[in-house]
Amino acid sequence: MAFNSYSLRNQFPILQQTAYGYPLAYLDNAATTQKPLFVLDAIQDYYRSFNANVHRGAHFLSDRATNRFEQARERVAQFIHAPENSHVIWSKGATEAINMVAYGLEHLLQQDDEILITSLEHHANLVPWQQLAFRTGARLRVLPLTSNGEWESEYQKYFTDRTRIFAATQVSNAIGVSTPLKTMIQEAKKYSAFTLVDGAQAVAHYPVDVEDIDCDFYVFSGHKMYGPTGIGVLYGKSQALEILIPYQTGGEMVRHVAYQATEFNILPYRLEAGTPHIEGAIGLAAACEFLIQQDRPALLAWEQKLANHVYTRLIKEGGIELYSPEKNTTLVSLSVPNIHTIDLNAYLDSKGVAVRAGSHCAHPLMAQLGVSGTLRASFACYNTLEEADQFCDVLLEAIEILGDD
Amino acid sequence: MTDFPTPCFPTPHAIKQQLQACRSKEETFKALVILSKALPRLSDEEKTEDNKIKGCESAVWLITVEDAGRRYFKADSDAKLMRGVLVAVISLVAGENQQTIQKMDLKSELAELNLSSYLTSSRSNGVLAILKTIGQN
Ligand SMILES: Cc1ncc(COP(=O)(O)O)c(C=O)c1O
């Protein structure tokens, strides 16, 4: 394989350290990824050379900052294949972007309308819809997907004439499966529902083409794709964005203000009240650039290979429940009967392996799987086969130590 | 009284020796696993919602029993390390009266036992909630 994770790794300074005397194996990438020098430098460069507020006072630095800020929007638009830059709205992250839509569409919902989500959602793509349903008298319905990410039978009956919003994740953060996204979106469109796709777990791994997915809204967070925290994106088709009531108002998003009334600005500014996260936008654009420069199919193949390697080793051991699929995923999600995942996590941590134990912000999905939580090892392009083996070795040791009564 | 004072617990002194001898996180982990075995498990009837401590990622139950002004504690958790921590905590307070327990600085006592990483107020951490429950009621 031409791809070499070792040379890529050198671009991530944080990975060159030990934890409690062991080589640090960072396998919690589905929570957040580490940042390459390219991103770190872009952020530094912003503060060192062109920090100023954007869209405001016309002066040398402000012009530069504004230009780079809008170039960042353009870069992100290209990255997800958005037809226009103004379709990219900055947010704090996926969570805020979903909330922007949930509030923005409230004025269209009526008693007994239906909001449909899937059974694989992160709380971020569940609670805002549930609360919207509470506020409006609409009903939250859940389209059951199997833990392989497949349809349950009779899925069509979940889409009805009352389905106003359909929100689904592209990839499950808890069990790593991809959903049948395009078919679901097509089905939702038959009923003229607004469609939102949670791409938080997709963007770091899969090329995203929002035009091809054909959803009304697509959301993701920068920090899960090698970019900084505190910045994310709400992409929307222009008619969809136009219909949203701004959920925050204030400066920057207005064209004219009088005490009697305010005229809002055009997109994208209409949905971006206040001074934006300029440094975040620039960092996120650098992360897109970083990914664009890579051989992305090779990165994905590598990440999937690591997950598959772990899966194959652990399935051979027996006594381990695996919830992630064998193939086509970049993470491994598991539990061991009679051993708490927190205990496994603590032992892995004590030997330098960073993973995540718990419900992964998906309580209903955990209930569907019949567990209180899982242990998740999630891979990024800089992870190595040695780290995958370190995870397996230490996990098996932990099971040995913890399973003796 | 049936099964109090707390049966077959290592003494606070023994626990202190064991835990302070740990040179690494890994050794502390192993010591806690051994300590956890000293904790008698609760019956299902004792694991009520009322006895459950909120704020822990693993389930933790704590029952206080008072006998002639002295306090004893029964506890359980579905996580083994937490059971080890419970043994350490309970050994510090078992058999004392309420005033004494309230005056104790359990946080620094646990820190002395190399358990400070269990005391950070991260989302997943319930040891502080346990200390609060022990000191409060
Ligand atoms: C599938 C999914 N959706 C949404 C989110 C929320 O992302 P953020 O916390 O960055 O807003 C996450 C993050 O864990 C996620 O994995």
CA–CA separation, B79 vs A241, rounded Å?
A: 47
Nearest to A359 by CA among A347, A370, A351, A346: A370
Ligand 1, pocket-test mutation among A361, A374, A376, A378, most atoms within 8 A of CB: A361
pLDDT of the residue at A238? 96
pLDDT of the residue at B53? 87
pLDDT of the residue at B58? 83
Q: Which amino acid, one-letter code, is at A230? A: G
Ligand 1, pocket-test mutation among A28, A208, A224, A376, most atoms within 8 A of CB: A224
pLDDT of the residue at B136? 64
3-state helix, strand, coil in chain B (%, to 5): 45, 10, 40
pLDDT of the residue at B122? 56
Higher per-residue pLDDT: B32 or A4: B32
Judged by CB atoms closer than 8 Å, whether chains meet at A20 and B25 is answered as yes
| CB of A164 closer than 8 Å to CB of A115 | yes
A84-111 per-residue burial string, b: 16 or more CB within 10 A, e: under 16: ebbbbbbbbbbbbbbbbbbbbbeeebee
Rounded to an integer, what is the distance from CA A262 to the centroid of its chain?
34
pLDDT of the residue at A214? 98
Superfamily of domain A5-31+295-402: Aspartate Aminotransferase, domain 1 (3.90.1150.10)
pLDDT-derived band at A139 (thresholds 50, 70, 90) equals very high
Q: Distance from the CA of A122 to the center of ligand 1, in angstroms?
A: 7
Residue B1 has pLDDT above 50, yes or no: no
- pLDDT above 90 covers what percent of chain A? 92
Q: Mark out chain B residues that contact chain A at CB-CB < 8 A.
A: 24-26, 28-30, 33, 37, 57-58, 78-82, 124
Instruction: Judge: domain A40-292, CATH 3.40.640.10.
Output: yes
Coil, helix or strand for B55? coil
> Distance between terminal CA atoms of chain A?
44
Classify the C-alpha dihedral A331-A336-A342-A344 as positive or negative: negative
pLDDT of the residue at B7? 57
Residue B137 has pLDDT above 60, yes or no: no
Coil, helix or strand for A50? helix
Residues of chain A positioned with their CB less than 8 A from the CB of B125: none
pLDDT-derived band at A153 (thresholds 50, 70, 90) equals confident
Residues of chain A within CATH 3.90.1150.10 domain(s) are 5-31+295-402
pLDDT of the residue at B134? 84
Residue A74: CB partners within 8 Å, gap ≥ 6?
A85
Instruction: For residue range A60-90, list pLDDT tens digits in order.
Output: 999 999 999 999 999 999 999 999 999 999 9
pLDDT of the residue at A2? 58
Predicted TM-score (pTM) of this structure: 0.94
Radius of gyration of chain A (CA): 22
Radius of gyration of chain B (CA): 14
| CB of A37 closer than 8 Å to CB of A224 | no
Instruction: For residue range A339-371, list pLDDT tens digits in order.
Output: 999 999 999 999 999 999 999 999 999 999 999
ipTM confidence:
0.89
Averaged over A315-335, what is the pLDDT? 96
pLDDT of the residue at B6? 54
- pLDDT above 70 covers what percent of chain A? 99
pLDDT of the residue at A154? 79
All structural domains of chain B, each given as residue ranges with its CATH number in brackets, are 12-134 (3.90.1010.10)
Higher per-residue pLDDT: A325 or A149: A325
Asked whether A168 lines ligand 1 (CB < 6 A), one says no
Classify the C-alpha dihedral B104-B110-B116-B117 as positive or negative: negative
Question: Average pLDDT, whole number, for chain A?
Answer: 95
Asked whether A136 lines ligand 1 (CB < 6 A), one says no
